[in-house]
Amino acid sequence: MFFEKITIIGLGFMGASFALAAKKHNICKRIYGFGRSIDNLEKAKARKIIDDYSRDLRECCQDSDLIILATPVGVFLNIINEIKSYIKRGSLISDVGSIKGSLVYEIESALSENTYYVGSHPITGG
């Protein structure tokens, strides 16, 4: 599958690893990043891990075909509630969190019927 725009929220080890894998396998045209540290965002762009970034979460997610939550699991629902009215119809949302359970249902309930959440579990390490 090919995505025009992927947004990764959180560019730590797992978010950056996802971005690099997406670039390696050429599954998207552009990768946007969002994070707390402007220094980390600038480093990620300079190292070509991401193509661009924004400090505005809504702007970063707008028009994304795939949004990856790579933040602590405890803020997933807050992020979804902040961006849900800016998510493009038909977009996929996934995560790299390891805890699911009722959180999956809470996220699905918060999203419109034209947005798809696919919970995932990361496999990391060398």
- In CATH, what is the architecture of 3-118? 3-Layer(aba) Sandwich (3.40)
Taking the domains of the chain in order of start, what are their residue ranges? 3-118
Q: What is the pTM of this model?
A: 0.92
Q: DSSP assignment of the chain, as one string?
A: --EEEEEEE--SHHHHHHHHHHHHTT-EEEEEEE-S-HHHHHHHHHTTS-SEE-S-HHHHHTT-SEEEE-S-GGGHHHHHHHHGGGSPTT-EEEE--S--THHHHHHHHHS-TTSEEE--------
Q: What is the pLDDT of residue 126?
A: 54
Walk along the chain (126 residues) in steps of 10 and give the mean pLDDT of each run: 93 93 95 94 97 94 96 93 93 87 87 87 65
Map tokens 């075909």 to a residue: 65
